[in-house]
């Protein structure tokens, strides 16, 4: 029986406690380094934080752009950290990942990233981050479970960055009227994520 | 049907390169062994396995170099070496010492891992340096001076290069080089296997064919080689012929496995010095500045090269509206921030 379930992320539920980061570092395959990254989007204007795990793309840009064939996706759809004998720390993966996930460590010539706590999920346990998240921003389970928990949201795994469409193994929770997460890049001359929030506010949309 | 599939799947440029490499080695074997006069036919199996390994390694290497990201770094590496001249040569020398000779990045990954790796590496390098010239008939020993201080003559490529005393530390080391290499490889493999049996992180992700098989093969070669020595040195050749055949099978099996498995990194890894050069020379050049964080995050050359590579790979992260940035011009942190902003937008700033 396949021990893997699905991962659901709801950025808006994150309160920035960083318990996920502390727990992530405990994972055996992460060796003391948190692979989840929690960002404050615009601390001067909003308390919003973003916990970013690997979305485990179905056609991973990181693996395709790796010159050393060091990044592999397994039969369960998990995209792993780079293979130790092959990784040359060129940073192609870091710079090509649309989600900004891989962490390249030049001193050890290695790319490390969220592997959905493979040592745990491969034996039917939850990833560390989902185990400790107090708000359910990071949830690991079945579609039935998440639908029961969040009846007003639905999971989506289709993204668009500019012209590029990306399908992921990890789902993001969105309102029912959204079928695809569209992430716009900033206009030339626009300054910082804060100004993007401003432009949304100016356009009349409600914003936290 | 199946034959047609294989014919279509073959990379004919790589087949050509592999064939040229194999033919060159075959020619060198003939020339180096003086028209096979010095070729030891008892070692023919090893020689044929080596020829196959050379074909496989060159084939895979050639296919690997056709991948757009690999090809880009390969070409850039040579370009930068040519343009950088003396600075590039200094950087290249440093990279060779740190990445290929000392491999100190593995030490930083872990001391035990480093000890295991260096024991295996030095043992295999020593064994290869002795075995291949012997197998190819390039190296053999002839009787030198007789008398109270007898000598051996070392013949390499048909030329006498040195005369060594039959008794002495030097000749002992040469004639026992493979024994020494066994004593390096076996503890190295033992440490590596111990790590793989006790480290929970390794246990979770390791694969038998990728991670354990190479260690088992190296152990089989080193241990059977050591038993051969024990047999002829201490047991009057007891069980020698069976052991010799088993040893040959392990070596030939490893040579055949080499192009396909983990051991291929031996040939891939040296290419990393081109990337070291790329990064070092670009550090002082123009950097790409993220429009979200306003911080420089990568050499401009790399972000531009990556755009081209991704385009070749049929990824298109260019903006779908005029006046907006290409996704590759945004730093990883900036991307995470924009994703957060985008999600906030669809959620209208609330959560449910």
**pLDDT tens by residue, B31-82:** 999 999 999 999 999 999 999 999 999 999 999 999 999 999 999 999 988 8
pLDDT at A205: 37
CB-CB under 8 Å, B338 with A184: yes
The domain spans of chain A are: 6-56+117-202
Q: Looking at the complex, does the CB of residue B69 fall below 8 Å from at least one CB of chain A? A: yes
How near does any CA of chain B get to the CA of A1, in Å? 17
Residue B271 CB partners (closer than 8 Å, separation 6+)? A68, A88, B70, B73, B74, B77
In angstroms, how far is CA A202 from the centroid of its own chain? 28
Is the pLDDT assigned to residue A207 strictly greater than 50?
A: no
What is the β-pairing status of strands A6-9 and A164-175? parallel
How near does any CA of chain A get to the CA of B153, in Å? 40
CB-CB under 8 Å, B69 with A92: yes
The 10s digit of each residue's pLDDT in A137-186 is 999 999 999 999 999 999 999 999 999 999 999 999 999 999 999 998 88
> Does an H or E element contain B160, and which?
strand B159-165
pLDDT at B340: 93
pTM recorded for the entire structure: 0.89
| A152: chain B residues, CB-CB within 8 Å | 352
ipTM of the complex: 0.91
Closest residue of B to A90, CA-based? B275
Q: Looking at the complex, does the CB of residue B348 fall below 8 Å from at least one CB of chain A? A: yes
The domain spans of chain B are: 8-276, 287-346
Return the CATH architecture of domain A6-56+117-202.
2-Layer Sandwich (3.30)
CA distances from A164 to A158, A159, A161, B311, B327 (A): 11, 8, 5, 11, 9
CB-CB under 8 Å, A41 with B341: yes
Distance, in Å, from the CA atom of B312 to the CA atom of B309, rounded to the nearest integer, reads 5
Q: 3-state secondary structure string, chain A? A: CCCCCEEEECHHHCCCCCHHHHHHHCCCCCCCCCCCEEEECCCCCCCCEEEECCCCECCCHHHHHCCCCCCCECCCCCECCCCCCCCCCCCHHHHHCCCCCCEEECCCCEEECCCCCHHHHCCCCCCHHHHHCCCCCEEEECHHHHHHHCCCEEEEEEEEECCEEEEEEEEEEEECCCCCEEECCCECCCCHHHHHHHHHHHCCCCCC
CB-CB under 8 Å, B291 with A90: no
| A46: chain B residues, CB-CB within 8 Å | 344
Closest residue of A to B298, CA-based? A95
CA distances from A127 to A19, A77, A208 (A): 13, 15, 29
């Amino acid at each position: 029986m396949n021990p893997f379930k699905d991962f659901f992320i709801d950025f808006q539920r994150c309160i920035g406690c960083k318990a996920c980061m502390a727990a992530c570092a405990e994972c055996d395959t992460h060796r003391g380094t948190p692979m989840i990254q929690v960002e404050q989007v615009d601390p001067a204007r909003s308390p919003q934080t973003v916990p970013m795990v690997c979305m485990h793309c179905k056609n991973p840009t990181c693996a395709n752009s790796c010159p050393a064939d060091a990044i592999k996706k397994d039969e369960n759809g998990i995209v792993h950290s780079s293979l130790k004998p092959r990784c040359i720390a060129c940073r192609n993966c870091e710079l090509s990942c649309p989600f900004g996930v891989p962490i390249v460590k030049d001193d050890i010539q290695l790319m490390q990233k969220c592997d959905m706590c493979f040592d745990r999920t491969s034996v039917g346990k939850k990833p560390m981050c989902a185990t400790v998240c107090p708000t359910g921003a990071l949830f690991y389970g079945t579609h039935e479970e998440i639908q029961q928990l969040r009846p007003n949201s639905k999971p989506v795994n289709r993204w668009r960055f500019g012209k590029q469409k990306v399908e992921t193994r990890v789902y993001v929770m969105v309102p029912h009227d959204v079928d695809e997460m569209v992430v716009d890049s900033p206009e030339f001359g626009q300054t910082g994520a804060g100004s993007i929030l401003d432009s949304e506010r100016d356009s009349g949309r409600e914003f936290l | 049907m199946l034959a047609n599939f294989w014919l279509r799947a073959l990379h004919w440029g790589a087949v050509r390169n592999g064939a040229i490499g194999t033919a060159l080695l075959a020619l060198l074997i003939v020339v180096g062994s003086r028209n096979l006069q010095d070729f030891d036919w008892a070692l023919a199996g090893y020689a044929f396995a080596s020829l196959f390994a050379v074909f496989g390694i060159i084939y895979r290497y050639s296919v690997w170099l056709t991948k757009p990201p690999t090809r880009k770094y390969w070409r850039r590496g040579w370009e930068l070496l040519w343009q950088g001249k003396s600075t590039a040569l200094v950087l290249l020398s440093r990279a060779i010492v740190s990445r290929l000779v000392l491999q100190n990045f593995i030490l930083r990954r872990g001391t035990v891992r480093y000890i295991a790796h260096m024991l295996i590496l030095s043992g295999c390098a020593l064994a290869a340096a002795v075995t291949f010239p012997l197998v190819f008939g390039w190296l053999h020993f002839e009787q030198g001076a007789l008398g109270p201080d007898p000598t051996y003559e070392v013949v390499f490529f048909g030329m006498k290069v040195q005369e060594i005393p039959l008794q002495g530390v030097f000749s002992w080391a040469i004639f026992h080089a493979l024994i020494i290499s066994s004593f390096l490889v076996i503890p190295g493999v033992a440490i590596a296997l111990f790590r793989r049996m006790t480290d929970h992180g390794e246990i979770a992700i390791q694969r038998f064919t990728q991670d354990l098989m190479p260690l088992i093969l190296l152990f089989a070669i080193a241990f059977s080689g050591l038993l051969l020595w024990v047999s002829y040195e201490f047991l009057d050749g007891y069980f020698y012929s069976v052991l010799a055949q088993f040893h040959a099978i392990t070596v030939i099996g490893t040579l055949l496995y080499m192009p396909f498995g983990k051991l291929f990194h031996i040939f891939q890894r040296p290419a990393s010095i081109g990337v070291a050069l790329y990064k070092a020379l670009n550090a002082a050049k123009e950097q790409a500045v993220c429009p979200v964080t306003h911080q420089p995050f990568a050499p401009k050359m790399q972000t531009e090269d990556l755009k081209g590579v991704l385009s070749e790979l049929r990824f298109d992260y260019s903006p779908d509206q005029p006046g907006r940035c290409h996704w590759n011009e945004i730093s990883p942190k900036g991307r995470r921030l924009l994703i957060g902003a985008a999600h906030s937008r669809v959620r209208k700033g609330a959560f449910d």
